Amino acid sequence: MAKKEFAYRGKKLEELLSMSLPDFIKLLPSRQRRSLERLINAKEGDKRLKLYKAVKEAKASNNKKPIKTHCRDFVVIPEMVGLLILVYNGKEFIHLDVKDRMIGHFLGEFALTRSMVKHSAPGIGATRSTKFVSVRA
């Protein structure tokens, strides 16, 4: 059984990589499109512009060093595919190996801010009634 080849809005990854950023923006849904249009018109010092320049530099130099960012509202663009990005979730940096299926999504969608709570045995200060609850229950 052959593996299905990735396509975003009917365009293969090679086509997406050959497109300019304004052409790629036209393929995106409105929220992502507006976010990236702000990147094109951004002034020096904008966090999104800084991340975009770091991605361009890493792709040009084939650098395997991860890019650290707090910018969770950055849209994954085709140039980011194959890079290792560390996205801050409020407590720590989450390793994110960018795949082609992530194109068009925000970085924050892949670095969850809340984790599942796992309870164990009752701790210090537990009431008498909860001290004897079975751990296996």
Domain with 36 in it: what CATH number?
3.30.860.10
Q: Residue 2 has what DSSP assignment?
A: P
Contacts of 42 (CB under 8 A, 6+ apart): 48, 49
Tell me, yes or no, whether 122 lies in a domain: no
Which helix (H) or strand (E) is 85 found in, with range?
strand 84-88
Q: What is the dihedral of CA 109, 2, 14, 84, to 10 degrees?
A: 40
What pLDDT sits at residue 130?
60
Average pLDDT, the chain: 87
The pLDDT value given to residue 41: 85
pLDDT more than 70, % of the chain: 88
**Is residue 52 within 8 Å of 45, Cβ to Cβ?**
no
Provide the whole-model pTM: 0.80
Q: Would 27 be classed as within a structural domain? A: yes
Domain holding 30, by residue range, is 8-116
pLDDT over 80 (residue 131)? no
Q: What is the pLDDT of residue 45?
A: 80
Q: Which of 16-30, 88-102, 121-135 bottoms out in mean pLDDT, i.e. has the lowest?
A: 121-135
Query: How many distinct structural domains can be found in the chain?
Result: 1
For residue 137, pLDDT beyond 60: no
Q: If you write DSSP's letter for every residue of 31-78 in order, what string do you get?
A: HHHHHHHHHHTPPTT-HHHHHHHHHHHHHHHT--SPEEE--TTPBP-G
pLDDT tens digits, residue range 98-121?
A: 999 999 999 999 999 998 888 776
Under the banding of pLDDT at 50, 70 and 90, the label for residue 132 is low
